[in-house]
A and B are shown apart, each in its own frame.
Chain A
Amino acid sequence: MEIILKDIVCNSTKADKCLNKINYTFKENSINFCSGLSGRLLRDLLTLKKQRESGFIFVNPNGRLSDIGYVGNNPLKEFNCKTVSEQMVYFKENYHLKYENVTEKIKDALLMVGLNDSFLNRTISTLSTSELKKVSLACVLFYNPQVIIVDYFEKGLNYKDIDYFKKLFKKLKIKYGRNIIICSDNISNYLDVLDEYVIFNNGSLEVKGTNKDLYNNLIYKYIEEPHIIKFINLAKKKKGINLDNYIDIKELIKAIYRDVENK
């Protein structure tokens, strides 16, 4: 599902909730990394919970409310039921989903995020931070939206979990044609999975690009530079070592070995 923002203006006292005549297209069937813009604002604009001051949003093809999924950084805010299954049933009724076997659908959604049946009747208040995030994503997968916005999703998850979810996002994109919009200030975790990135600052679009130009120094004026990029740039600056633009540490290690051996 393609989302086109055209001359969008939003006013707010918060920098990440301002948009100052923004033109940008979140292409369909892609993983977008987006920094400096609140995922919640994007969700609210797309679901008309928040009205823009001016400009247009085109969603192509035209979607329903349930086509926009949102996983927040603080999932507790998003839950309004006591248990995991009650929450999913709430979505089923709210979005008028016609599932024949709801329990099976809930189990499938939990399984997709790596959780088993024992979570079906777990009280939400007893879940750990990472379990809350997983359940929150499972709820979104349960109603199966076209676009999934994840807001600082990686915060609080360990490497293994993040790796698992990157694979899941890739699968959702490739196999099911979903758009994933990752709102975060940490691009390091997503270097190997993102298709495009867009960086906002104080409501203005500052930098955009694809996974082919992650070594663009402009990006790192606004967000933290991934350690691997910082290291490769420093080696060039300090010793004149020209390593390729690697984003995988294993490739970097081989390149260092080759370089040292050749000298």
Chain B
Amino acid sequence: MESLVLQNISVKLGENVVLDKLSLEFKKKYNTSIIGPGGSGKTTICKLLNGDLKYEGSIIINGVQIAEDNNSLLKKFVRVVLNNSYNKNSLVIDELFNGLDGCNLDYEEEEKRVKKVVKYFKLQDLLENKISTFTIQEKYYIKIIKELISGCDYLVLDDIFINMNIKDVKKIITYCKQENITLINITSEMEYVLETENLVVLYNKNIAMVGDTIECLKEEKLLRRLGFNLPFLVDLSIQLGYYGLIDKVIVNDGKMIEAIWK
């Protein structure tokens, strides 16, 4: 099965051990959310997959180990959007073409790909605008699209959705599904974990829990102990379950109302 595997990964930043023999598998076509308290290694995973860090252990994609210094091969499969400032003076159209750097495509194919995302994300009126004039929401939207255009297998987002509106988020998730791009979404906003099939909970430089998102969310007490709240509807389902009003987790407002007031 196609997958992205982190095997026994350890990362040290100065004297601090940030990841300690972490092993994780991201199966192709199964989107994953990663949550964890501050300092648990979420951004480190992003930087690792962006080829920015020295590490011990292995990164294996579809059964092939990626050599530590082979960033171009890593980038072919994995694109990462980091949560750092994006204040470029370049135009949107140039940024979209920049996203294709290293893809080794001929101009015709590059143009085809740009046209495709421009049409899908309705960017026609923004192409000649400078990134630096955009709002934070717009900047992150373009920043993601710039990576999506490469046609990568895995898109890793470092808590980016928190800066965007839900409509744009849904659009990106739908595009990823449509284009067979597997999403690895690092998030501090619990509502967004419902957008992915799998959940990884990091704690103390390693994994506290991993599995199907809803099943993990049912471990309410453990999650709260680690400092997480539950998404609103999951919380409501579980609490109303204690009152005997609901017998399963419902993640749709309309269905929840129907289930309560039958």
CB of A129 within 8 A of CB of B260, answer no
Chain B residues contacting A250 (CB-CB under 8 Å) are 239
Chain B residues contacting A238 (CB-CB under 8 Å) are 254, 257
CB of A249 within 8 A of CB of B84, answer no
Partner of B85, one of A74, A227, A231, A257: A74
Chain A residues contacting B135 (CB-CB under 8 Å) are 14-16
Partner of B228, one of A160, A227, A228, A231: A160
Which of A53-61, A87-95, A137-145, A150-158 contacts the other chain?
Answer: A150-158
Chain B residues contacting A73 (CB-CB under 8 Å) are 136
CB of A13 within 8 A of CB of B133, answer yes
B163 CB within 8 Å of chain A: yes
B107 CB within 8 Å of chain A: no
Given A231-B256, A249-B236, A158-B188 contact (CB < 8 Å): yes
CB of A156 within 8 A of CB of B159, answer yes
Chain A residues contacting B133 (CB-CB under 8 Å) are 13-14
Chain B residues contacting A227 (CB-CB under 8 Å) are 191, 232-233
CB of B84 within 8 A of CB of A241, answer no
Q: Interface centre among A14, A156, A263, by most B CB within 10 Å?
A: A156
B70 CB within 8 Å of chain A: no
CB of A224 within 8 A of CB of B166, answer yes
B162 CB within 8 Å of chain A: yes
CB of B261 within 8 A of CB of A159, answer no
CB of A129 within 8 A of CB of B38, answer yes
CB of B245 within 8 A of CB of A256, answer yes
Given A14-B135, A130-B38, A224-B165, A239-B261 contact (CB < 8 Å): yes
Question: Residues 223-253 of chain B: 1 if any A CB is under 8 Å from the residue's CB, otherwise 0?
Answer: 0000111001101100110010100000001
A216 to chain B, nearest CB (A): 20
Chain B residues contacting A14 (CB-CB under 8 Å) are 133, 135
Question: Residues 228-263 of chain A: 1 if any B CB is under 8 Å from the residue's CB, otherwise 0?
Answer: 101100110011010000000110110011011001
CB of A260 within 8 A of CB of B261, answer yes
Interface size on A, residues (CB 8 A): 43
Interface size on B, residues (CB 8 A): 42
Q: Measured between alpha carbons, how far is A51 from B23 in the docked complex, in Å? A: 53
Q: Measured between alpha carbons, how far is A16 from B260 in the docked complex, in Å? A: 41
CB of A253 within 8 A of CB of B14, answer no
A86 CB within 8 Å of chain B: no
B66 to chain A, nearest CB (A): 25
Q: Measured between alpha carbons, how far is A235 from B253 in the docked complex, in Å? A: 9
CB of B188 within 8 A of CB of A157, answer yes
CB of A260 within 8 A of CB of B260, answer yes
Closest to A237 in B: B257
Residues of B at under 8 Å CB distance from A? Answer: 13-14, 16, 35, 37-40, 42-43, 83-85, 133, 135-137, 159, 162-163, 165-166, 188, 190-191, 227-229, 232-233, 235-236, 239-240, 243, 245, 253-254, 256-257, 260-261
Question: Apart from A14-B133, A159-B229, A161-B37, what 9 extra A-B contacts exist at CB < 8 Å?
Answer: A13-B133, A16-B135, A123-B14, A129-B38, A185-B137, A231-B232, A235-B261, A256-B240, A256-B260
Residues of A at under 8 Å CB distance from B? Answer: 13-16, 73-74, 76-77, 123, 126, 128-131, 134, 152, 155-161, 185, 224, 227-228, 230-231, 234-235, 238-239, 241, 249-250, 252-253, 256-257, 259-260, 263
- 21 sampled A-B residue pairs with Cβ under 8 A: A15-B135, A77-B85, A128-B42, A129-B43, A155-B159, A158-B35, A160-B227, A227-B232, A231-B236, A231-B253, A231-B257, A234-B257, A238-B254, A241-B261, A249-B236, A249-B239, A253-B236, A253-B239, A257-B240, A257-B245, A260-B260
